[in-house]
Amino acid sequence: MAGADAEIQAGEQALSALDYPEAFKHFDKAAKEDPKNPVAWFGKAESALGLPQMEPDDILACYKKAVEIEPEHPQFLEALASFSMDIGRFNEAEQYYNKAAECDKENAGYYWSEFAVNYKAKAPVVMEQFLDDKTKDLIAQKALLYALKAIGLTSDEAKRLLA
């Protein structure tokens, strides 16, 4: 698979230079040469983010393929979670952030805080047409629970500290 590795290296160089079309071309070639290489699929997804003509479902499929091949890789899971959040798939994002936290216990708080902040910011925008006071409260409550989880506090401990 030396060809795939060379394509990945070329793709990473193009991606670092923000040459998204060139990076995508190399990662796509690598994925075709070595379909079981998660870095090829991850790079394909990352470079596709810079291509306006790419459909979100195609990008999502590339991230999912990388995670399918290497399901315990926190960087792949976090990227899939973040992209799922960006396209309004909040339940999937929550699942992937939790899986990343499970796989990378040392940095679990990072994943939970990222979910909390992004969910609180993005869910009201996506759910705007259904956004009543109860829905706003549910969004804030979920975000707050994840923020507390990120810093290792329970709801009762937070109440006590804020009283």
Judge whether 4 and 40 are in contact, CB under 8 Å: yes
pTM over 0.85: yes
Residues with Cβ within 8 Å of residue 71, at least 6 apart in sequence:
77, 99
Within its chain, how far is the Cα of 121 from the centroid? 15
Model confidence pLDDT, tens digit, residues 107-155:
999 999 999 999 999 999 988 888 899 999 999 999 999 999 999 999 9
CATH fold for domain 1-70: 1.25.40
Closest Cα partner for 43 from 60, 57, 55, 26?
Answer: 26
Q: Can you give the residue ranges of every domain in the chain?
A: 1-70, 73-163
Cβ within 8 Å of residue 33, ≥6 positions away: 1, 3, 4, 7, 40
